[in-house]
Structure 1
Amino acid sequence: MPQISKIELYAAIRRDHRGGMKIREIERKYNVSWRTVRKAVDSVWPEPRKQLPPRPDSPGQGRRRRPEPRRGAEP
Structure 2
Amino acid sequence: MRIEQIQAFIDVTEQRSFAAAARLTGVKRSTLSAMIGALEDHLGVALFERTGNSLSLTATGESILPDCQRL
TM-score interval (norm. to shorter): 0.3 to 0.5
User: Which is greater in Rg?
Assistant: 1
TM-score by length of 1: 0.41
Higher helix share: 2
Q: Could you tell me the TM-score, scaled by structure 2's length?
A: 0.43
Which structure shows the higher strand fraction? 2
